Every structure is written in structure tokens, then in C-alpha cells.
Structure 1
Amino acid sequence: MISIWAPDGVGEIRRGDDLLDHLLAAPSGVELVDGDVVCVTSKVVSKAEGRVEVGDRDEAIVRETRRLVARRGPLSIVVNRLGLTIAAAGVDASNVEPGRVLLLPEDPDATARTLRAGLADRAAVNVAVLVTDTAGRAWREGQTDLAIGAAGLRVLDDHAGRVDHYGNALAVTAPAVADELAGAAELAAGKLGRRPFVVIRGRGDLVLSPGDHGPGAAALLRPEGADLFGLGSREAVATALRQDADAQRVFGTPVDAAALCDLLTDLTGADVRLAEGDVAVVSADPRAYWVAEVAAYAHGWVVAERDPSRIRLRPATP
């Protein structure tokens, strides 16, 4: 059985506050036991760290952004400085005074480790700690909470090598249990209830041994180029047309030569052939070369040689 509860009566968090003082002194009481998972909203972590700024939200978003993923009107999805793909870089203008913005914590995994160690010292318990934040999802309406910081928790429950009830081997199933717990915690905390701490009991099997903080929530981030949706549909087209070498890694590793040959033949109608590991495109139509270059770029290939009668393509990375 899993139990989830959020202590009531937690006061306003301000810069320099000790979050554990607020948690352990909550008027409704908190009795922690080994194996509990303590979830803390990123908002109160940011407030305690002094990540509240006076200024323009758009300017803060630019500073917190590492790479644009997609933009639709005023909405931007970006990879922020923490490596999170998130709307507006995680910069929030709610739950703060007008004219101020709230940035995400400086290092959520480090904060989770500090809080976990503090609870071990002050409450003599071995618990896991999650720092949670709200995010949208591709293909789905609405938002849910996920883990942006973690300590003492097995954040992925890898099922590779296990067998289901029908005898089928599981290869890629790996529930993101840290995110599942964060979403469950939000059900108890709510958005407007001023309950920034949530305790989840019943999944002690996911809690690591004392002193073992685990890989943190950073382990849930896909490497650049490994995500099939590293750019929005419009942005992918514009990036391919620009053929910026620094952005090519977002499209992932190069496809094999045979697959590229099939693609370019279909797109250009040109004579496309393998040439000593490279791909040669021969056509009397100059437009075929332009199409081939753009398509090749998006599939991890670049022009190695060009003359009036053909272009020769090679993988961007060996």
C-alpha cells in the first residue's frame, strides 16, 4: 500500500530559510520513517536559495536558455541551463510578488542530497528526497509534476532482462519512477494549497542505502541527439535549411549510407550511388543538389566534395 500526505500550515519560505525547519516543524506534524520519499517543490527551494529576481521575465528566460527547441507565438520550449526541456526555461512569475520572477534552483540534485543528509542527521531516518517541478508533455494536454532533483532514489526501474507473464522478454521498459512519484505528490500538494512538502510511504524498495545518493534526476535527461524530438517541426526545417554545423548533433547520429541513398533517390530522382563509403549524387538538375544537401544534413551527412556534375557526401562524424 502507498500512502501520500502533504503537511498543512507551512509558512512562507524566504531567502536563507532552512527548509528542514519548515518541514519538521509543520503544524500538522511530520513523522518520517526509513524508506519514505520526501518531495519538495522547486518553488520553495528557489525561494530559500534566493532565486527570486526583480526584472523582466523574457530577459530571464533568455539568460536561463541553452537552446531553443520550439516556439509558437509567445510560448517557447527550450533546453535550459540544467538540461531540462521545458517551457520558458522554467522561469515562473506566479507565487511571487508582482514585478519579480522565480528561477529554478541552482542545482536541484545537490539540493536533494543536502536535504537527505540533513534528514538523516536531524530525524535519524534513511529517506529519499525529490525536488519537483511542473512541466507539460509532448502529445498530451495539461501538465504534471516531474523530478528535477533526486537523492537516495532509484530514479529508473529498469525492467531489461525481466520476463512478463507470457514469457516475453522485456528490453526497453524502464518506468521513470522518480517522475511517477513526483506526479503522485502533486495530487496531495495541489497548486494553491501552500503545501510544498509531500511524504510518500510504501515504496521503500526504491530508496537506496544510507550514503548512496544515486545518480540523481540528471540521469533522466536524454543526451543531445538521442531524443527523437530535439526540435519542433518548424524549427527542424529552418535548422536544416541553415545547415549550421554546431546544430547538426540535435538530429542524432548519421543514418547508414544505404538508407541515405534510398531517401535521396526518392526526394531528388537523381542518380544516387555508394562511392567507397561515401554517397554520390549525380543529376542534371541543380535543384536536386540543394535538396540532397539539406536532407543529408538532417540525417547526419555533409558535403565532402562538389563539382558541376555531382556532389559527394560523407558522415558528419566518423
Structure 2
Amino acid sequence: MITMEIKLIGLEGIPLVKSGDDISQIIGDAVKAQDYDLKDGDIILIAETLISKAEGNIIDLNDITPSERAIEVAEICKKDPKLVEAILQNSNEVVEIGPNFIITETRHGFVCANSAIDESNVDDGLATPVPENPDKSAREIREFLEAQFGKKLAVIITDTQGRAFRVGAIGTAIGCSGINPLWVRIGEKDLYGRELETTEIATADELASAASLIMGQANEGLPAVIVSGFPAFDHLRDENSDIKPLLRPKEFDVFRK
């Protein structure tokens, strides 16, 4: 009998990050301090807040003057008008307004709540939007770590997002490098020999959700997780990958008109 296992290793000792910090070096130092031996095929998942802070991508809500539109929307969703203004400024489109959320399409093309602006794990009055270019950030970190450790690696930037028709938030991939985020299994056979016709697996999202169990959402202090032993790494290896394959084209989005 063949035993398959995937290991999740939380990287400890990562400090509170500030603007200008070198995330690549911080991750590399944490790996060494933990005395972990990186292996070919390891995937490093990093919380987007860490990236935004280091890149200085921080919103000071005290500096924002709400527009009339933001004040109107804030009345509906019962949010701070300054936060609503930040949400609107970081969106391409407002999809729907709910009782305590605003579903938007971000400038990156992600459809999510509140333009994925996060007020957790930052000082009062501050908020972190999605990093400017999560794919670029992932690529730079991967290339640094591969050069430092001499291993074939992948890096995925994660965010915590809700899901349509489901309660609760999960880890979601918003940037990646070194691995195709989508595993197209069309043409393979199932257990009964039937050919798969539509099966596509959002692998990067599944990995992000697994890592989120270790990262936590409160004061765990583990914003980076290594996934080791993912069996499809070699099959999905792609040094030119980005997150775009996971974004559903709007013409196929039957819930938006």
C-alpha cells in the first residue's frame, strides 16, 4: 500500500513587518532559524497582509474624505464612510451591496467583499488593500528563495475571502509563481473509465485553504506556511505562472449582467 501525505509547516519567528522590509529575506531567515530543510516541490504560502505592509501598501483611513456616493453606500451597509470610500477607490465595479458588506470587482479582477481591504492585524485607523501586483511579489520571493536554497519552489500569496452561497471565509490564492494555479484534468479517466469532460481543479485555492488552517485569522502570528509533499507539483510546475487562470471571464459569470 502506497501512503501519500502532505505536510503543513508554519514558519515561526516572523516579526511584525513594516514598510521597506525585505519579505524574501525574512522568509529565508525564518526557514533557516526553524532548521527546516527546503525540498524540491515545496510551496511557500504567504498572507497578503505581510506583502502589503512590506510594500508600503497601507491605507490611512484618517486621510480619506468620503464622497457623496460613499456616504450613500455607507448608510446601506452600515460601514464607516471613509472605509467605504477606500473600497470604492480600489474597485472596478460595485457588484452588490449587502447589509454589512460590499461585493466589488477589484482592480486585479477579483470579485470579493469590500475590495479585499482588511482592517485586521494593522494599527487602528489603518487598512491593507490587496498588494499592487501579487503575482510579481510571488515571483520575486520565489526567485530569491530558489537562488538561496537551490531548490525548485513555488510561492502563493493568500487572502481570506468569503464565498457566494456559503457561510464563512476560507484561504484563497491571489498571486502565484512557480506552479499553475489551475489543474485541468479534462481527458483523464475516472474510477469507472469515463473520460472527464469539464473537471478543472483550483489547486492554488485548495493549497491556500489548507495553509489557512495553520495561519489562523486572529493572533496566531504565522503568516507564512510551507506545504511539502504536494504530489502534483512536477505536473503543474510553471515558472511563468500567474493567478489569471483562476479568474472567471465576465462573459461566463451568469450572476452578473
TM-score (norm 2): 0.85
Q: Deviations over 1:81-116 (max 9, x none)?
A: 010001000111111111111111000011111111
Q: For residues 216 and 98 of structure 2, what CA distance do their matches in structure 1 show?
A: 28
Match of 1:54 among 56, 60, 73: 60
- How far apart are residue 207 of structure 1 and its match? 4.6
Per the alignment, residue 121 of structure 2 pairs with 95
Secondary structure of 1:4's aligned partner? strand
Match of 1:39 among 45, 52, 55: 45
Q: For residues 123 and 138 of structure 1, what CA distance do their matches in structure 2 show?
A: 40
Say whether the 8 Å CA contact 2:7–2:228 is kept in structure 1. Answer: yes
Percent identical among aligned pairs is 33
Say whether the 8 Å CA contact 1:34–1:204 is kept in structure 2. Answer: no
Q: For residues 168 and 53 of structure 1, what CA distance do their matches in structure 2 show?
A: 52
How many residues are treated as equivalent by the alignment?
230
Say whether the 8 Å CA contact 2:44–2:156 is kept in structure 1. Answer: yes
Q: Deviations over 1:240-280 (max 9, x none)?
A: xxxxxxxxxxx3xxxxxxxxxxxxxxxxxxxxxxxxxxxxx
Match of 2:223 among 196, 207, 214: 196
Say whether the 8 Å CA contact 1:57–1:93 is kept in structure 2. Answer: no
What is the correspondence of 1:149-228 to structure 2 with a 5 Å cutoff? 149-191=175-217, 192-203=219-230, 205-207=232-234, 212-228=238-254
What is the correspondence of 1:1-318 to structure 2 with a 5 Å cutoff? 1-26=5-30, 27-55=33-61, 56-191=82-217, 192-203=219-230, 205-207=232-234, 212-230=238-256, 251=257
Which one-letter code corresponds to 1:222 in the other structure?
A: R
Which one-letter code corresponds to 2:7 in the other structure?
A: S
RMSD over equivalenced CA pairs, Å: 1.6
Q: For residues 59 and 143 of structure 2, what CA distance do their matches in structure 1 show?
A: 29
Say whether the 8 Å CA contact 2:48–2:131 is kept in structure 1. Answer: yes
Query: Structure 1's 86 and 207: CA in aligned 2 closer, same or farther, altered over 3 A?
Result: farther
Query: Structure 1's 207 and 155: CA in aligned 2 closer, same or farther, altered over 3 A?
Result: farther
Where does structure 1 lack aligned partners over 5 or more consecutive residues? Answer: 231-250, 252-318
Where does structure 2 lack aligned partners over 5 or more consecutive residues? Answer: 62-81
Higher RCO by CA contacts (8 Å cutoff, separation 6 or greater): 2
In our comparison, the structure showing a higher alpha carbon Rg is 1
Secondary structure of 2:232's aligned partner? helix
TM-score (norm 1): 0.69
Q: For residues 101 and 228 of structure 2, what CA distance do their matches in structure 1 show?
A: 37
